């Protein structure tokens, strides 16, 4: 039996008890997990220092090193992230509907956990504790498989979290870590339908694609965001510049940042120089079509490849359109279905855009950066789903559930 199979079997077993655990017990476990995480601070920082040393030696890029690095503050933040989940309502055991049928039987629909969730992610230690805490509160056992660059940090974090479970009297196998970081272990997880109910990949486009293509376990796709902002001919140009500046530059490495600017031809000559001036403050590189390049100085030529790119960097493509229809067509063709925005004072144009754009979040005069569980008022999330099945948008506690029907009667037959 491989490590992954063993973890799967144990998680399935642990899930049987966790699925029907009381809210009080789960909250107590979260508190103990947070406490043990804080108590293991020194050990976790030592493990992280090891990871950082190896990553630097292996020439890992600076942006990735930033994500990998843990500090005492960040560990405090992770522990706080866990206790924040204590306050969120328990999503399990909620009655979604209850009806009495003419034959006297009652049909009740109640929420239940999904079961065992596997999360495959990159070298981000905080995802380890976030995912574990969200899964625990929603009654799901979780098998974590993080990036190999963070393996020592992940081991130390999971050790602390499991200690918290043990102290609560819960099976520590509710949370487990795949320490074999070979590609084989990921592939094995993707095909272990016997023990795993849902697979959530969290990371770059390559990771997501690999899961979709290879997984026989149901997948919830997350995270790739080629987000567009369309500046309509009736836009308030100052508002457009503010929104584009915020959506592109406030945090370029995240999935809800904007990657592509689409502008109506009637407003481009007036709007683009103003927008570009704002973006120049952060040295954003613009890559545009011919009309865009003729409308402002210093814009590089865009190639077909640019329209579909998720840069996650200070780069943005600029596409000129003749009409709202063309904007919608262009966006529908290149969007990853994450978040798109129209900036306009024209209500009819906004309505048309909001109706026809088929993305998880569609905005009117608001920055795409708000696609986030916390910003929507839903609490913590495990990622942003870009698929239509099961969950779309922020994956918070209510999205980590399934439901079952309970039918009671006194001998009804059909």
Q: Which is nearer to its own copies, 181 or 249 (CB)?
A: 249
Q: H or E segment at 213?
A: helix 205-214
Q: Which is nearer to its own copies, 218 or 273 (CB)?
A: 218
Joined together, the tokens standing for residue 89 give 């309502």
Q: Which is nearer to its own copies, 41 or 359 (CB)?
A: 359
Helical H runs in 59-182?
62-68, 72-86, 125-137, 151-168
| Shortest Å, Cβ 20 to its own copies | 6
Q: Which is nearer to its own copies, 6 or 408 (CB)?
A: 408
Residues near its own copies (CB under 8 A) are 16, 19-20, 99, 101, 105, 107, 112, 114-115, 193, 197-198, 212-213, 216, 218-220, 236, 239, 242-243, 245-247, 250, 332, 350, 354-356, 358-367, 369-371, 375-377, 387-390, 392-393, 402-414
Backbone conformation region of residue 298, classed left if phi is above 0, alpha if psi is from -120 to 50, else beta: left
| Shortest Å, Cβ 133 to its own copies | 21
CA distance 208 to 338: 14
Number of residues written out for the chain: 414
Joined together, the tokens standing for residue 75 give 């560990």
CA distance 327 to 264: 8
Residues 6 or more apart whose Cβ sits within 8 Å of residue 60: 68, 149
Joined together, the tokens standing for residue 367 give 């920055």
| Shortest Å, Cβ 392 to its own copies | 6
DSSP 109-135: EEEEE--EEEEEE-S-HHHHHHHHHHH
Q: Is the dihedral of CA 244, 245, 249, 251 positive or negative?
A: negative
| Shortest Å, Cβ 369 to its own copies | 4
Joined together, the tokens standing for residue 212 give 């979709």
| Shortest Å, Cβ 410 to its own copies | 6
Q: Which is nearer to its own copies, 86 or 105 (CB)?
A: 105
| Shortest Å, Cβ 200 to its own copies | 11
Strands 106-113 and 315-321: unpaired
Q: Which is nearer to its own copies, 197 or 232 (CB)?
A: 197
Q: Which is nearer to its own copies, 77 or 104 (CB)?
A: 104
| Shortest Å, Cβ 354 to its own copies | 5
CA atoms in the 13 A half-sphere facing the CB of 320: 19
CA distance 396 to 87: 14
| Shortest Å, Cβ 16 to its own copies | 8
Q: Which is nearer to its own copies, 302 or 361 (CB)?
A: 361
């Amino acid at each position: 039996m491989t490590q992954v199979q063993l973890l799967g079997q144990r998680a399935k077993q642990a899930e049987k008890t966790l699925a029907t655990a009381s809210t009080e017990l789960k909250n107590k476990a979260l508190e103990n997990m947070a406490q043990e995480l804080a108590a293991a601070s020194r050990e976790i920082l030592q493990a992280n220092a090891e990871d950082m040393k190896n990553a630097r030696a292996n020439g890992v890029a600076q942006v990735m090193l930033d994500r990998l690095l843990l500090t005492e503050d960040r560990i405090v933040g992770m522990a706080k992230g866990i206790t924040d989940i204590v306050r969120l309502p328990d999503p399990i055991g909620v009655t979604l509907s209850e009806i009495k049928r003419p034959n006297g039987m009652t049909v009740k629909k109640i929420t239940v956990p999904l079961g065992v969730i596997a999360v495959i992610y990159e070298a981000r230690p905080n995802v380890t504790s976030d995912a574990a805490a969200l899964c625990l509160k929603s009654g799901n056992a979780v098998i974590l498989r993080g990036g190999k660059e963070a393996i020592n940090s992940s081991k130390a974090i999971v050790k602390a979290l499991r200690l918290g479970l043990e102290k609560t009297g819960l099976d520590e196998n509710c949370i487990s870590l795949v320490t074999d970081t070979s590609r084989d272990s990921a592939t094995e997880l993707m095909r272990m339908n016997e023990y795993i109910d849902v697979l959530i990949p969290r990371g770059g486009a390559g990771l997501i694609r690999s899961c979709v293509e290879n997984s026989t376990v149901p997948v919830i796709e997350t995270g790739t965001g080629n987000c567009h902002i369309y500046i309509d001919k009736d836009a308030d140009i100052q508002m457009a510049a503010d929104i584009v500046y915020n959506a592109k530059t406030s945090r370029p490495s995240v999935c809800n940042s904007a990657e592509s600017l689409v502008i109506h031809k009637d407003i481009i000559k007036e709007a683009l120089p103003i927008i570009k001036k704002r973006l120049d403050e952060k040295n954003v590189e613009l890559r545009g079509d011919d009309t865009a390049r003729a409308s402002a100085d210093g814009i590089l030529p865009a190639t077909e490849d640019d329209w579909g790119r998720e840069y996650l960097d200070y780069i943005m493509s600029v596409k000129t359109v003749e009409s709202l229809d063309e904007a919608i067509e262009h966006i529908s063709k290149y969007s990853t279905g994450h978040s798109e925005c129209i900036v306009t004072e024209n209500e009819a144009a906004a309505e048309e855009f909001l109706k026809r754009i088929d993305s998880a979040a569609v905005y009117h005069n608001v920055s795409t950066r708000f696609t986030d569980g916390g910003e929507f008022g839903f609490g913590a999330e495990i990622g942003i789903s870009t698929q239509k099945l099961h969950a779309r948008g922020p994956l918070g506690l209510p999205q980590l559930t399934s439901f079952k029907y309970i039918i009671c009667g006194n001998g009804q037959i059909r």
